[in-house]
Amino acid sequence: MGHCKLAGPTVWRSAGLLAACLAAVFLLRLPVLSASGSSGLSESGGSGSGAEEDAPGSADIRTPDGSYALTGEVLDQLPPDSVQLGVLFQEGADSRTGLYAARREHAGCILWAAPGGDLYLQLSGGGYARACPEPG
């Protein structure tokens, strides 16, 4: 008679991380979509709020190897030989891996490293957002 085995902790951990990433993206986009001239993040600072987020020296991703800025480029597939680094935590949280995201919507997402030195953030809606090392 066959034995029924439940999926191991690795499968549950991966599913949990994906669910957390999806929940974070959904919860953070909901206030922006429903903002109608109130104190929403996208409208509170006018043209200055977007410039603040992308200002030099404000890293989007921090790792033990340095700081990285998202380029705005999104790929459908990872570059060949990319390796998974781990899950991003929001800055201020306790991460054993030292992988941090400056923006809440990126916390809980999986981070990948490509052979050329760029990092890729796995997006919940599909695709991989490219991040380049910041000079310094």
- Average pLDDT on 108-130 reads 94
- Average pLDDT on 59-76 reads 94
- Average pLDDT on 105-113 reads 94
C-alpha 75/C-alpha 119 separation (Å) is 12
What is the rounded average pLDDT for all residues in the chain?
Answer: 72
Longest dimension (CA), the chain: 67
Residue 2: DSSP 8-state: P
The DSSP element (H or E) to which 68 belongs, if any, is strand 66-75
pLDDT score at 94: 77
The percent of residues above 70 in pLDDT, for the chain, comes to 57
Residue 13: DSSP 8-state: H
pLDDT score at 97: 86
Question: Which comes out higher in pLDDT, residue 1 or 61?
Answer: 61
pLDDT digits (tens, 9 = 90+) for 13-46: 566 666 666 555 545 444 433 333 333 323 223 3
Q: Count H helices, E strands: the chain? A: 3, 8
| pLDDT class of 131 with cuts at 50, 70, 90 | very high
pLDDT score at 42: 30
- Average pLDDT on 55-82 reads 88
Q: What percent of the residues of the chain are helix, what percent strand, and what percent coil, each to the nearest 5?
A: 30, 25, 45
pLDDT score at 122: 95
